[in-house]
Amino acid sequence: MTQSSEREDPPNVKSYIIDMDGVIVSGNTLIPGARESINQLTVKGIRSLILTNNPIYTPADLQHRLRALGLNITTKRFFTSAMAISRIRHGVALDLRREHK
């Protein structure tokens, strides 16, 4: 993720889907520029969803992990592979227009 001051968002961007591991964090270290980029999305009112393919952790676990690194992100903004499988099994679609604001 590049630092927000280095580039402008493309026109008409309504939301971003961001991978957690390797984009926001690497192990227990925040990736340089991640905090500023996430904060800019929030300030601009651009929705974002943080994804992880790690099915072990809940959104609350992920929120705690990022809070310990100085990022305050609500649990609604996390989506895990376990959540995806659950939705597929139950036939529930993910609609970013209504969720994860």
Active site residue 95: no
Catalytic residue among 9, 21, 61, 95: 21
Catalytic residue among 9, 19, 61, 95: 19
Nearest to 13 by CA among 53, 52, 51, 40: 40
Taking the chain, what is the end-to-end CA distance rounded to the nearest angstrom? 20
Residues 6 or more apart from 68 whose CB is under 8 A from it? none
Active site residue 19: yes
Nearest to 1 by CA among 27, 39, 28: 39
Q: What are phi and psi of 56, to 5 degrees?
A: -75, -35
Q: What single DSSP character describes residue 15?
A: E
Q: Which residues are catalytic?
A: 19, 21
